[in-house]
A and B are shown apart, each in its own frame.
Chain A
Amino acid sequence: DIQMTQSPSTLSASVGDRVTITCRASQSISSWLAWYQQKPGRAPKLLIYKASSVESGVPSRFSGGGSGTEFTLTISSLQPDDFATYYCQQYSSYSPYTFGQGTKLELK
């Protein structure tokens, strides 16, 4: 399996902050990476695919970057609606697809 490791596990930040979450793959996955946002009691919501392509309707403050084994999700200016848990997912291999363990973004 391709292991996905996110850091940090918890991130405390304030409205207006610029924050970055990192996702590392145990082997190269090219740019085959997606990012999701999940709020309590809700299904994950797609934010980013192909490492840096922003899903339609997602605010422009969200951006993704990286390739190979290291990837980032950046929120340029945190808004109150952004406090949630974020997951990365690799789709370089579907045997199996794997997700990071999640990063909880909380209000400082």
Chain B
Amino acid sequence: QVQLQESGPGLVKPSQTLSLTCTVSGGSISDGGYYWSWIRQPAGKGLQWIGRVYTSGNTNYNPSLKSRVTISIDASRNQFSLNVKSVTAADTAMYYCAREAEAGGGGHWFDPWGQGTLVTVSS
């Protein structure tokens, strides 16, 4: 059973870059041809999809964040990563990594999810 675990700094200064890693266990990140996503949720608010990466390294991003976001994959470490540059307080949120539930292109729902990691942007 595939499990995901987010890791990274819990506190980032304004204007700096937020960097998180999602480690996949229970299976290879390269197997099955899945997309791997990042999703965030400000405290008390709804869910926002940030973007996704394919096993080949192909990416898709939310247009509202595209200029600041980079998602990459490292199959050798069974990990994928998120970088958000030039952060502000508005980027303070719980960040989740998740796998799309079905392989291949197009759109899918998310399952499983990581437990989430809280990132606060503050000086």
Does the CB pair B64–A34 fall under 8 Å? Answer: no
Residues from chain A with a CB closer than 8 A to the CB of B109 are 34, 46, 49, 89, 91
Does the CB pair A96–B111 fall under 8 Å? Answer: no
Using a CB-CB cutoff of 8 Å, which residues 40-89 of chain A contact chain B?
42-46, 49, 55, 87, 89
Does the CB pair A97–B107 fall under 8 Å? Answer: yes
Partner of B46, one of A49, A92, A96, A101: A101
A98 to B109, CA, bound (A): 11
B 83-123 to A, binary, CB cutoff 8 A, 1 in contact else 0: 00000000000001000010000111111011110000000
A57 shortest CB reach to chain B, Å: 11
Does the CB pair A43–B114 fall under 8 Å? Answer: yes
- What is the size, in residues, of chain B's interface with A at 8 Å between Cβ atoms? 23
Total of A-B residue pairs, C-beta within 8 Å: 58
Asked, given contacts A94-B52, A95-B60, whether A46 binds B47 with beta carbons under 8 Å apart, the answer is no
Most chain-A CB neighbours within 10 Å: which of B37, B109, B110?
B109
Chain A, interface residues (CB within 8 Å), range:
20 to 34
Does the CB pair B101–A92 fall under 8 Å? Answer: no
Does the CB pair A43–B115 fall under 8 Å? Answer: yes
B56 shortest CB reach to chain A, Å: 16
Does the CB pair A94–B60 fall under 8 Å? Answer: yes
- A-side residues, CB < 8 A to B, are 1, 32, 34, 36, 42-46, 49, 55, 87, 89-102
8 A-B contacts (beta carbon < 8 Å): A42-B115, A46-B109, A46-B111, A89-B47, A90-B107, A92-B107, A97-B107, A102-B47
Q: A43-B115, A99-B46, A102-B47 are known contacts; what are 18 more A-B pairs with Cβ within 8 Å? A: A1-B63, A34-B109, A34-B110, A43-B96, A43-B113, A44-B47, A44-B96, A45-B113, A46-B109, A46-B110, A87-B47, A89-B109, A89-B110, A97-B49, A98-B49, A99-B49, A100-B46, A101-B46
